[in-house]
Every structure is written in C-alpha cells, then in structure tokens.
Structure 1
Amino acid sequence: MKIFLSADIEGTAGIAHWNEADRNHADYREFRALMTAEVVAACEGARAAGAEQVVIKDAHDSGRNLILDLLPDYARVIRGWSGHPDGMMFGLADSFTAALYIGYHSKAGTETNPLAHTTTTRISRLLLNGEVASEFTLNALCAARHGVPSAFLAGDAGICADARAMIPGIGTVETLEGAGPAANSLAPTRARALIRQGVEAALSRDLSTLMPQAAETYEIIVEFCNPGDAYRASWYPGARSHGARAVALAATQFFDIQRALRFILV
C-alpha cells in the first residue's frame, strides 16, 4: 500500500493567527513543529494500516516547512513548488492507494477558521460549478483524476464538514473551530492521537466509494479582492470577465481548470 499525504498548516491544532504560519515570524517555529507532528501521526496511522510508503507533499507557502529529520524512514517528501498544475498534490499518480489531507483549512469566504482562504488571500471566493470551493475541493478532484480515493482529512470544523459533504464516508478529525479572529482548538497531543487512530481506521476499510462525484463540464469563477487582479487574469486563454472583480472559465476536463488556476492565481 502506497499513500499520498498533502500537508498544510492553517488547520493544525492550536493555530489562530497568520504569524504562526509565516516562516519569517518567531511564532512559526512552534507551528512548524506542530505541523510536522501531525504529519508524523498520520504516517504512523497509515503504517499501522499496512502502508509500505507514504509520500508527503509539503504544501504550505514555500513548500519547505516540515522538519525532515522527524519523518519516518518509510516516508518520502516533496518540497518546494515544481510549477505543475497539480500543485498541492504534485507527485500523485495512479499507483497510490489513497490520499490523506493534514492541516487543511476552511475556504475563502467563510469564518470557520481565522486563517480561512483558498490558495491565496488575494481572492474573496472561488466557485466551481456554482458552489464555493476550497483547496480540498480542488485537490480531491485532482486525486480522482488520478483514480485515487480521498480517505482522510484533519483540519478545522468547517473544512471537515465540507469534506464529508463532498465525499460521504471520508474520515475526519476536527482540530479546531474558528470564531472570528479566535480559535477553539483541541490540545495538539489529543489531535495527534485522533489523527493516528483516524488514519488507521480510514485506510482499513473499503476505499472504493471515497471518490467525489465527477461532472460532465466544469466552470470556475474567481472573485478577486482587487479589480486589477481580475483584469490581469481575464487575459488567460478562455477566461472572461465576470463583473468588476471576477473572471470565469469553462472546461470539459478538470485538468484544464487546474492549469488555468495555476496561471490565473499567480
């Protein structure tokens, strides 16, 4: 069994402020360690379920967050950003048994995490086929494009609820719940224990049903905070203006949506 793990930080237990996710701030050191510990807990759960290898995509900001010497010897880690449209899922292939999502956070336009956003803080919302989308939305569809089920997610209560709505049966651990700029969180030790147990349980059952529903066509609407960004993005081939601060784009293949976002959101 080979498992893919996409790791972010804004859904890590205890996090409540952007300083804690910023490698240039003193607070980051603590949360880098907590992010790593949750990833290690997920690896341990996967190993207990029979995983021979866990491939980890360090998927926050620089892509260089995890404390490498704390990772188990059966893990591989993908650091930095290749520029490939798979982004936070880069390295995934049809040879993987399942995908895990650790440290994930609520989507832009919601208040269930003080650090809620989708890919970049320069957008206020991203809609996919009329529904407000999260990074998990995009990444689970990316996994499905490779034929890989999404088995487990740990993150704030909002993204866990979204994950369960999109993929009924996915395992989740709610690490925290936002209230405006505040967060009500599990103790990190408790979160890690639940992640370890949850990943083992999620990977020890039938995974075949854990695929998001495919669509015949896809349309994204990207709502920017700044109208200048929308104007620039409107020049991407196939994109069109959608009001003063938004662009829209339609495609029949989800990879074309991924590729468009790769350039529209830079």
Structure 2
Amino acid sequence: MKVFISADIEGTAGIAHWDEAERTHADWAEFRALMTAEVVAACEGARAAGASEVVIKDAHDSGRNLILDRLPDYVRIVRGWSGHPDAMMFGLDAGFAAAIYTGYHSKAGSEANPLAHTSNLRISRLILNGEVASEFTVNALCAAGYGVPSVFLAGDAQMCAEARAMVPGLATVETLEGAGRASTSLSPAWSRRLIREGVAAALSGDFAAALPARAERYEVVIEFNNPTDAYRAGWYPGAYAHGPRAVAFAHADFAEILRALVFLKV
C-alpha cells in the first residue's frame, strides 16, 4: 500500500503567528521541527496499517521545511515547486491507496485560525461552484481525479469540520482552534499521538468511498485584495472578470481548473 501525505504548517499544533511559519524568522526553526514531527507521526500510523511506502509533498511556502534526517527509511519526499498544476499534491498518481493531510488550515476569510488563508495572502477568497473553498477543497478534488480517496486530515477545528462534510468517512484530528490572533491548541505530543493513532485506524478500515462529490462543471472565482492582481489574472485564456477585484474561469474538467490556478493565483 502506497500512501501520499500533503504536509502544511499553519494547522500544526501550537502555531499562532506568521513568524512561526516563515523561514526567514527565528521562530520557524521550532515550528518546522513540530511540522516534521506531525508528518513522522502520520508516517508511523500509515506503516502500522501496512503501508509499504509513503510519499510526502512538503507543501508549505518554499517546499523546503521538513527536517529530512528525521523521516523514516520507507519515505520519499517531494521538495520545492515544480510548477505542475497538482501543486500541493504533486507526486500523487493513481497508484496510491490513500491521501493524508497534515498541518492544514482554514480558508481565506475565516476567523478560525490566525493564519487562515488560501494559497497566498493576496487572495481574499477562493470560490468554487459558489462555495468559499480551502486549499483542502482543491487538493481533495485533485486526489479524486486520480481515483485516490482522502482518508485523514490533521489541522484546525474548522478545517476538520469542513473536510468531514466534504469527504464521507474522512477522519480528522483537531490540533487547534483560533480566536482572533490567538489559538488554543493541543500539546504537540498529544497531537502527534492522535495523528499516529488516527492514521493507523483510518487506513485499517474501509476507506474506498472517501471521495468528494464531483460536479459536471466547475467555476472558480478568485477574489483578490488588490484589483491590479485581478487585472493581471484576467489575461489568462478563458478567464473573465467577476467583479472589481475578481477573476473567474470555468471548465468541465477539474484538471483544467488546476491548470488555470497555476497562472491565476500567482
């Protein structure tokens, strides 16, 4: 059994400030270690459930956050950004049994995490088929395009609730809950234990149906903080204005939505 992990940091237990997520700040060293430890816990849970190989996409910011020497010997790691439309899911294919998500966070416009955002801080909201979407929304649909179920997510409480609502049977660990600029969190050790146990249980059950509903057609709308970003994005072939600070793109194939997002959200 091959398992894919998409690892972010803003939903890691204990996190509360952007300084802790930015590699140029001294606080990042502590939180890259905590991010790594949660990923290792997920790997251990997958191994306990029978995984022969785990592929991890380091999916935060530079894509160079995880401390490599702490990863188990049955792991392959995807670092940096290729430019491929799969983005945070790059490295996934139809040969994987399941996708797992660690360190995930609430969407842009949410107050459920002090670090809530979608893709970057220039985007005020990303809307998919009329619903405000998170990075998980996009990534779970990406996985579903390969026929890969999304079985487990660790992250803030609102992200967990939305992921469970989107994907039947998905298991979660709620690492923290935001309130304004503060967060109330599990201890890192507690979070790691729950992740290890949760992943093992999720992968030991029947998770084949853990797939989001697919639509016949998709429309993605990106609302930017600055109208000049919308103007630039509007030059992508097939994109169209959707208000004073927004641009949209529609297609029946979600893979084309992913391709468009590479250029629209830059």
For the superposition of Structure 1 and Structure 2, which TM-score range results when normalised by the shorter chain? Answer: over 0.9
Q: CA shift at 1:237, angstroms?
A: 0.6
Normalising by structure 1, report the TM-score. Answer: 1.00
Which residue of structure 2 lines up, in the alignment, with residue 138 of structure 1? 138
Q: How does 1:194-213 map to 2 (within 5 A)?
A: 194-213=194-213
**AA of the residue aligned to 2:31:** F
For 1:208 and 1:194, locate their aligned partners in 2 and report how far apart those are by CA, in whole Å: 22
Which residue of structure 1 lines up, in the alignment, with residue 189 of structure 2? 189
Q: Is 1:40 matched with 2:7?
A: no
Which residue of structure 2 lines up, in the alignment, with residue 127 of structure 1? 127
Contact 2:218 2:254 in 1 (8 A): yes
Q: Is 1:153 matched with 2:157?
A: no
Q: CA shift at 1:194, angstroms?
A: 0.1
For 1:225 and 1:6, locate their aligned partners in 2 and report how far apart those are by CA, in whole Å: 27
Q: CA shift at 1:168, angstroms?
A: 2.2
Contact 2:169 2:207 in 1 (8 A): no
Q: Secondary structure at the match of 1:35?
A: helix
Q: How does 1:186-265 map to 2 (within 5 A)?
A: 186-265=186-265
**AA of the residue aligned to 1:130:** G
For 2:171 and 2:242, locate their aligned partners in 1 and report how far apart those are by CA, in whole Å: 36
Which residue of structure 1 lines up, in the alignment, with residue 112 of structure 2? 112
**RMSD over aligned Cα, in angstroms?**
0.4
Which residue of structure 2 lines up, in the alignment, with residue 101 of structure 1? 101
Contact 2:3 2:46 in 1 (8 A): yes
Normalising by structure 2, report the TM-score. Answer: 1.00
Count residues with an aligned counterpart. 266
For 1:144 and 1:242, locate their aligned partners in 2 and report how far apart those are by CA, in whole Å: 28
For 1:207 and 1:22, locate their aligned partners in 2 and report how far apart those are by CA, in whole Å: 35
Q: CA shift at 1:127, angstroms?
A: 0.4
Deviations 1:205-239 (A, max 9, x none): 11111000000000011000000000111111111
Deviations 1:153-183 (A, max 9, x none): 0000010011001012101000000001100
Which residue of structure 1 lines up, in the alignment, with residue 72 of structure 2? 72
Which residue of structure 2 lines up, in the alignment, with residue 62 of structure 1? 62
Q: CA shift at 1:248, angstroms?
A: 1.0
Which residue of structure 1 lines up, in the alignment, with residue 13 of structure 2? 13
State, as a whole percentage, how many aligned pairs show the same letter: 72
Contact 2:49 2:201 in 1 (8 A): yes
**AA of the residue aligned to 1:19:** D
For 1:249 and 1:148, locate their aligned partners in 2 and report how far apart those are by CA, in whole Å: 25
Q: CA shift at 1:192, angstroms?
A: 0.1
**AA of the residue aligned to 1:164:** R
Q: Secondary structure at the match of 1:144?
A: helix
For 1:60 and 1:248, locate their aligned partners in 2 and report how far apart those are by CA, in whole Å: 25
For 1:168 and 1:255, locate their aligned partners in 2 and report how far apart those are by CA, in whole Å: 22
Q: Secondary structure at the match of 1:175?
A: strand
For 2:15 and 2:107, locate their aligned partners in 1 and report how far apart those are by CA, in whole Å: 16
For 1:39 and 1:189, locate their aligned partners in 2 and report how far apart those are by CA, in whole Å: 13
Task: Give runs of ≥4 in structure 1 deviating > 4 Å.
Answer: none
Q: Secondary structure at the match of 1:39?
A: helix
For 1:133 and 1:41, locate their aligned partners in 2 and report how far apart those are by CA, in whole Å: 27
Which residue of structure 1 lines up, in the alignment, with residue 179 of structure 2? 179
**AA of the residue aligned to 2:204:** S
